[in-house]
Structure 1
Amino acid sequence: MTRVIHTGDTHLGYRQYHRPERREDFRAAFRQVAVDAADGGVDAVVHAGDLFHDRRPDLGDIMGALSVLRTIDDAGIPFLAVVGNHEAKRSAQWLDLFESLGLATRLGAEPVTVGDTDFYGLDFVPRASREGFDPEFEHGDAAHAALVTHGLFEPFDFGEWDPREILDATDVAFDALLLGDNHDPGTVEIEDVWVTYCGSTERASAAEREDRGYNLVTFDGEVDIRRRNIDTREFVYVDVELAPGEGTQRVRDRVGQHDLAAAVVVVTIEGDGDPVAPADVEEFALEEGALVCRVTDHREFPEETEREVSFADPDEAVRERVRDLGLSEAARDIDETVRAGDVADSNVDEAVQQRVAELVKAGDADTFAAADPVDDSADDADAPDDESAGADPSKAGSADAEVTDDEPTDGDGGETTAPGGASADPLGSEAEPAEADGGETTSGDGHGSEAASGDSDGGETAVSDDDATLEDYL
């Protein structure tokens, strides 16, 4: 006789509802299976895949799995398992790591004998690999044989693979198929072979209303499959059918009839009542001590108003912004080359360099002259300033004050002095005269710049900081 615990879909590491408490719940459920195995004296724990919820579990989840596996190993019970679709990696599997530590056995085509039963394993097989599938299982000598695999099989809900395709492809006479992937437990007999799902050890979705647990399978001439439940976090399901005129308060009243302490509350709403704000119900449940509350209203309400949505043309917005920048003709030409779809992206750099070379070779300085930017406030330039409209221009220090003949001035265009000897410069700084030979002066930003020549023959004028140049836009 061989008696084993058939479990699976433990989904360690699943942080359901983004709550760390739920991740610990999945670990605690798996730990309870291990404790039951040690206390019940079973011959093996058989895991049908999806030990982890993700192929990249956190270190804490790996350490948690190791802790549970050590509990099983300390009891002298072998842990036999296959790889599910959630945890499958391209090369080495997490199950291989645990096997290297002596804490697990990865089942495959060769039988692993426990008592009088040979156990085989088949990792999750993607749908694209099932056509012409040939498992090539080796024959064993035990009285019974069981295949452990992971996938959605017919005739169960969501089934997409007929298990007879596997049974007919091998000469091994299996007594049972111990399955994982479908989180709802179920058992059927197909061609004298028992096909059974153990279900998940914790609720991975709100739709899994049945109690969680595992199968206790005994091979002793015949196959005996029994269900064992385990304690998990309470899920409170509140299904509300609203009558006309009923709404949020009715839902709150129904939710309040339950003990919500540390529970996951799942509320579904049907009927003809008024619209219900889910946030109000969820807030009420949390105030009553619930860990999580989710509200689903299956009713449909017509839209009260129709909303017209229009979108501006982004290309036109860019063109308008470019006009406002006051770019030179050359810069606008280059901008059009970059943004236009006539030139492939890979050729934009070359096209821009070629265009710049052509413009420079043409030698037209006006092409590089900055245009006046569009100023939306220009229309307000002529409007009188309310604060300065009544100002006395004769006051010293006024920005609009005129220099009269009575005020002393520097005959060579030097500093203008306000009455009383104070400088007209509001910062009180002294102006540094430009050198006649075009020497260096200090610009307003404190950096050295080349001053314009003082010759009266129309010499070159220095470019000010406010002037745009082609380099600014390349």
Structure 2
Amino acid sequence: MVNVPETRLLHISDTHLGKRQYGSDVRRDDFADTFEQAINLAAERDVDAVIHTGDLFDDPVPSLPTVMRCADALEPLEKHEIPFYGIVGNHERKNDDQWLDLLRRTNAVTRLDRAPTVVGDIALYGIDAVRPSVWDTADFELESAPEEAQCSILCMHELLEPPAEGIIADHPVEDVLERVNVDLDGLALGDLHQPKSAHVDGTDVWYASATERCAKDQEETGLVQLLEIEDGDLTRRQLELETRPWSVLHIAFGEDDGASHVQDVFDRRDLTDAVAKIELTGERGAVTANEVTRMARDAGAAVVSVDDNRGRVDIDVDSIEAMSLQGLDGAIEERLAGEDFSEIALDIDVRVREDDGLSDSVSGAANDLEPALRDAQRAAFDDVEAPDEDIDTTVTMGGDE
């Protein structure tokens, strides 16, 4: 056998470009900054290719500035002639052409599919995020790799067990391995925002993690994976990105506790340039959530989000298995996956729950969602001419928000 020079890939995932976490433009820039770091790292390490396993964008309809910044960030790869291979994640999935297809026209970007893309001695495959309603009938068959390929890697964007655990996992990884007709050496995954791995039936299975922290309970983020393949042997190394610090605080109030109690807590923590995620529990008092926000900013926090749960009945979240890894959002999404909701309904649910840059007003939020509703209209009435009049996005809501 002729020895083939080592092939190196940088595995990036879940960059969620355009995400205005906690309604903050600072956080939107943070997600873009870490993506740029990862791309520059690929250029510095002179890798043979970059693979991205989904959720490049946080939204199926990203803003033009977000798309343009992504295109600009990819320029170092063009300069060094490093290809960028990706698949479509559940956050960015559209009913028609995908954003990866658009970027392909202006950058060194290629969307992976079931036909092998050969890099060095590696055959790369890709399957976009599969809708839960069609998982059981989805076609996972891959074309055979050429003889010169000594290693086969499939990229997917799914929650598979293992490495994902418990209620957050949607499907067993064995289901995928049994349905592909190629012996896989690696299964590179996205969707889980933490680095986890397993070895299943001779296949190395792993999550790269996210490049930025997407929730308070996801601590092992800001990571990418360097893959090194030589003579068919695959090894992985975890590389850290520089990300904004987080400070997660729980402030419990007694009957007489006020601003000084909050200040005591802040004095014990370094909030400089941090994302301060603060939960207030216990007795309601004179200090308001807005005052806590102001105090956190005065203490140096760059981004502040306050959950005021004072006066509410405590819930034993330890009994909720999903909280151990993916958080409450993961449990909600698992429940939704079992229902027969349309894809647009699921996308809107994600945007509303994550405060994904929506207007604070009901009518403004409806206008923000209109492009997605129009996508759904076109998909539902494929060959039927759409009416000329605008969609009525007026929403009437009862009760307090």
Using structure 2 for the length normalisation, give the TM-score. 0.70
Match of 1:100 among 96, 105, 130: 105
Distance 1:34 1:301 in 2: 45
| Secondary structure in 2 matching 1:105 | strand
- Which of 225, 233, 237 matches 2:248? 237
Contact 1:154 1:161 in 2 (8 A): yes
1:266-277 alignment, distance < 5 Å: 266-269=277-280, 275=285, 277=288
Structure 2 Cα separation of the partners of residues 282 and 28 of structure 1? 25
| Counterpart position of 1:381 | none
Over 3 Å counting, the alpha-carbon distance change for 1:218 and 1:298 in structure 2 is: farther
After TM superposition, the structure 1 stretch with the greater mean CA deviation from structure 2, 131-140 or 291-300, is 291-300
Distance 1:222 1:103 in 2: 27
Aligned-partner SS, 2:179: coil
| Structure 2 counterpart SS, 1:282 | helix
Distance (whole Å) between structure 2 residues aligned to residue 130 and residue 51 of structure 1: 22
Partner residue in 2 for 1:308 = none
Q: Alpha-carbon deviation of 1:196?
A: 0.8
* Structure 2 counterparts to residues 40-189 of structure 1, below 5 A: 40-140=45-145, 141=147, 142-155=149-162, 156-157=164-165, 158-189=168-199
* Distance 1:222-1:248 versus aligned 2 partners, 3 A rule: farther
Q: Within the alignment, does 1:228 sit opposite 2:235 as a pair?
A: no
Match of 2:3 in 1: none
CA distance in 1, matches of 2:128, 2:101: 13
Larger radius of gyration: 1
Partners of 2:10 and 2:309 in 1: CA distance: 39
- 8 Å Cα contact 1:278/1:295 also seen in 2: yes
Q: Distance in 1 between matches of 2:221 and 2:262?
A: 25
Aligned residue number for residue 282 of structure 1: 293
Instruction: Describe the superposition over 1:318-347 as per-residue Cα deviations: whole angstroms up to 9, x where unpaired.
Output: xxxxxxxxxxxxxxxxxxxxxxxxxxxxxx
Contact 2:283–2:310, Cα closer than 8 Å, also in 1: no
Q: Deviations over 1:66-91 (max 9, x none)?
A: 11112112112110100111111112
Q: 1:192 aligns with which of 196, 202, 212?
A: 202
**Matched letter for residue 98 of structure 2:** Q
Amino acid in structure 1 at the alignment position of 2:161: E
Q: 1:134, CA displacement in angstroms? A: 2.6
Show the counterpart of 1:296. Answer: 307
Shift of 1:176: 0.9
Matched with 1:205 is 215
Task: Report the 3-state secondary structure (helix = DSSP H, G, I; strand = E; otherwise coil) of the residue aligned with 1:168.
Answer: helix
Partner Cα separation in structure 1 for residue 207 and residue 71 of structure 2: 25
Note the C-alpha offset of 1:198: 1.0
How many angstroms apart in 2 are the aligned matches of 1:60 and 1:269?
36
**Cα distance in 2 between the residues matched to 1:187 and 1:289:** 37
- What 5-or-longer segments of structure 2 have no aligned partner? 1-5, 314-401
Matched-pair contact (CA < 8 Å) for 1:247–1:273: no
Question: Could you tell me whether the CA contact under 8 Å between 2:283 and 2:311 is conserved in 1?
Answer: no
Contact 2:250–2:278, Cα closer than 8 Å, also in 1: yes
Picking from 14, 17, 25, the partner of 2:22 is 17
Counterpart of 1:112, as a letter, is T
Unmatched segments (≥5 aa) in structure 1:
303-474
The AA in structure 2 aligned to 1:83 is V
